[in-house]
Structure 1
Amino acid sequence: MNDLDEITAMLAKPEPSAAAAGRSRARLLRRTRSRSRTRWFVPGAALVAGAAAAVVFATGVPTGDGVPYATQTVSGKDVLLMAAASAERTPQGSGTYWHVTTRYADDEIPPIETWTRRDGKRWTRNEPGDAPGEIVASWKTLRLKGAEVSFEELDRLPTDPAALTAWIVARKGDKADMATSEQQGDPTFPLLTLITELPTPSAVRSAAFEALAATPGVENKGAVDGGQHLTLPDPDGGTTPIELVVDPDTARVVQANVVLGGAGDLAWSDEYISVSTEWTDQRPPVKKS
């Protein structure tokens, strides 16, 4: 049995109790705060990327009769390495538009949608400043670490974790669109953006997960509804850690307390938001005049 097999065994199968899941969810609730890079406030957020279905993992290692003989918490590093292995096996997909849908826990807040074409043309619906329900066209391209990033540039990113980290550290951008830690060369926020909202190729997502696993202080708080509850120190020095629920089997960040948008925005919050991403050939539903 290799290391990944052992990790997989640890991340198997019985559901935690509802009470335990509730306690874990409660730990995700934190006081809302924002940063200078934030372009708009997210009222209650945790980020869901990719797969719609939630998978529950437990941490007991089964004995021969299938009963866990020890409750073990897999390290946060191992969860991220498992996600890296899964990401490498997950096809990137293809399409004309990179479609991102953001849904809030509050049903009264309409979902925000963006469609971005490879030439940089972008359509939005219900973004702050948009007329409610109206599809707005622009040339607002994707951004990473305070600078525009093209689809072609994302496709060419290094697939080695050390090389990817070095590329991020060396990248220049507009300081007004960067967190303090990004200005100082910390790769944490850009790595999270690569694995959550940008149209990043499978091998690059895998490298980003592996690079994130090397973050000092990453911890696993245990199994929750949707995956493993990880915490990372705030790279900007704040007292509230980054909290992620990672499903290592699908290589998805299922929930988080920080929103990292592909358009360059960053915000912290205390409740939930879902973000689904997909390639699609379906055109934005622009009304004909």
Structure 2
Amino acid sequence: MDDLNAIATLLTKPEPPAEAVTRSRGRLQDRMRGRARRRIGWLLPALTLATAAAAAVAMLVTGVITPAGAPASGREVLLMAAVSAERTPQGSGTYWYVTREMRDMDIPRQESWTTRDGRRWSKGEPGDPPGVVVPDPDPLMLKGAEVSIEDLEKLPADPEALKARLAGLQGRDSAMTASEQRGDPLFSLITLISELPTPPEVRSAAFRALATMPGVESTGAVEGGHELRFPYPDTTWEVKLVVDPETARVTRTNSLSGNDGSVLLSAGFIRVTTGWTDQPPR
């Protein structure tokens, strides 16, 4: 049985014994006390002890145990997030709420609200009047094609089947990169975990699928999780994500979807928050 199948099997097992969790947390805390705080770039303080301890618990649950003193690899972080994603309820609410923010640039915060039947409002997006919520006709998109919440719920919960489905998904060539047109699922997988209202079991599959992508690396613990890097197909750029393995959330990224579903890359990190809410657009 390969590693991913082993992880999938472990997902169905009960929580680890309390003493095992305590031992794992203690080992990680001892290691963290001896690690100097460092900063990378403009927003990257070291991971807190509490988050690091939770990551150790996640590693124990997944069966991916990092040797003492060794940082988690990119693959391990993604597999930890996969476990958290499957165990975390999606939540409920009237609106799927998304924010984007670049704090080091003079760009207004962007917000959008989407109902389950596809109605959408936005604020701060290109073309919106400053500070005003407006109806927005742009639908949820994947590979430049419109997708509904029902479509997302029908996606496979198996990582290999999910990659195959995304590779075969009919998109718009004008909104896809050359690699997407060839069937590379990288950007579609990132969209599923970063901004779309993807159900827990599909989010889990997307994280596990990303763990199989060639070249994924972790640069270590940063504010909001672990910074991961993927080679950008056909270029020398890197796709960067900050993933919190405890909450299975992408907290920052340099790659997002544009209003037409195309891939947008930023020179700096974009902060992203998502979730269901009953708070109306305002």
Query: Shorter chain as normaliser: what TM range?
Result: 0.7 to 0.9
Report the counterpart of residue 64 of structure 1 in structure 2: none
Q: Is 1:57 paired with 2:55?
A: no
1:127 to 2:125 alignment: yes
Deviation, structure 1 residue 223: 2.2
CA distance in 2: counterparts of 1:232 and 1:107, whole angstroms: 24
The 5 A counterparts of 1:82-231 are 82-106=80-104, 108-231=106-229
Aligned with residue 273 of structure 2, among 257, 276, 282? 276
Sequence identity percentage = 50
Q: 2:256 aligns with which of 256, 259, 265?
A: 259
CA contact (8 A) 1:193 1:262 kept: no
Give me the TM-score of the superposition, normalised by structure 2: 0.78
Structure with the bigger percentage of helix:
2
SS, match of residue 268 in structure 1: strand
Offset from partner CA, 1:258-287 (integer Å, 9 cap, x none): 2335762422223232121111122223xx
Which amino acid is 2:281 matched to?
A: P
Change in CA separation of 1:80 and 1:172 when aligned onto 2, cut-off 3 Å: same
**Unaligned ranges ≥5, structure 1:** 29-52, 61-68
Structure-1-length-normalised TM-score: 0.76
Cα separation, 1, equivalents of 2:221 and 2:99:
26
Q: 1:89 to 1:263 in 2, by over 3 A?
A: farther
Amino acid at match of 1:252: R
Cα offset, 1:140, TM superposition: 1.7
Structure number with higher relative contact order (C-alpha < 8 Å, ≥ 6 residues apart): 1
More displaced 10-residue stretch of structure 1: 165-174 or 71-80: 71-80
Q: Which residue of 2 aligns with 1:17?
A: 36
Q: Secondary structure at the match of 1:152?
A: helix
Distance change in 2, residues 1:242/1:108 (3 Å): closer
| SS of residue in 2 equivalent to 1:270 | strand
The aligned runs of 1:3-82 (5 Å cut-off) are: 9=24, 12-13=28-29, 14=32, 16-18=35-37, 20=38, 22=39, 24-25=40-41, 57=52, 70-82=68-80
Runs of 5+ consecutive residues of structure 2 not aligned to the other structure: 1-5, 11-15, 57-66
Q: CA separation of 1:129/1:261 partners in 2, compared to 1, >3 Å: closer, same or farther?
A: closer
RMSD between aligned residues: 3.3
Q: Structure 1 residue 191: deviation in Å?
A: 0.2
